[in-house]
Structure 1
Amino acid sequence: MSKEYERCSKVSYRQLFTIAESAFRAKGCSTAMRREVLLAKCTMEGEELSFVLERDLEGNVRLSLLTDEPAEGKEELVVKYNFFLFGVKVMEDSEGYIALATELPESCLLNLGASQIFKEAEKLAAIYRNIKKSIHREKHS
């Protein structure tokens, strides 16, 4: 077992989220911890976006982007994006809105550093902007 892996496996769930919280705050986002989940609200390209970071029992960390875009009537678009995206899932959340999520092994995030968490958030935001453009084009065609 490598020393890096050993070091990463010793970092607690709470420490990982403290690192993630620091990464979001360093980029000007507001954050809050609620029941073992990190919530972050960020302004990216003039748009306020909400992210949720949580860890599952298997040691994977899921970063989700919650949107205010209704999923109803956009099922085909969701399927299209899921077919072409690797490592990102586009879905309907429990309240009927489009959500995006990516998962990474906890040890991978620790090896890559705190900035990787925010890079993943930026990636989700860019994909969401493309989805919104597609929705806008469909409405006006």
Structure 2
Amino acid sequence: MKVSALMTSPPVVVAPRVTVRQAAQRMDEEAVGCLLVADGEHLCGVVTDRDLALRALARGLDATAPVAELMSTPVVTLDVTDDLETAYRLFRRSGVRRLPVLDDHRPVGMLAVDDLFRDVLQHLADLLGPISWSVLHEGPRGGPGQTTD
């Protein structure tokens, strides 16, 4: 399966000159914890809610400072054609919780660890559904009404 099947698209993108306050407001409006920082179609960095708290607020950075002053760089990214195994590897290696997804170097989506969790849980539910049904209808030893006592 390709990362494009699980990514959130389009990503929320801001320009490097956007202020810290505007970035926080945008996160609130869009209900996201991460913004991609791009100059035109070129990805420059990433700003997370954690960056706002630790790199801006905790350090006394002025709310009118541009997000370019606190964004994380370089950015670890995925390509829209990458498979999920590549995503798992990158998450393990990088230690980040979100990866921007690019198509021809343009940001087109965001893949989060939570997206992978949801996918895994859905697959487990798909597997457990028939098993649960058969246990309920056949009993634990294969016959109706049989018990394990």
TM above 0.5: no
TM-score computed with the length of structure 2 as normaliser: 0.29
Name the structure where strand makes up a greater proportion of residues.
1
TM-score computed with the length of structure 1 as normaliser: 0.30
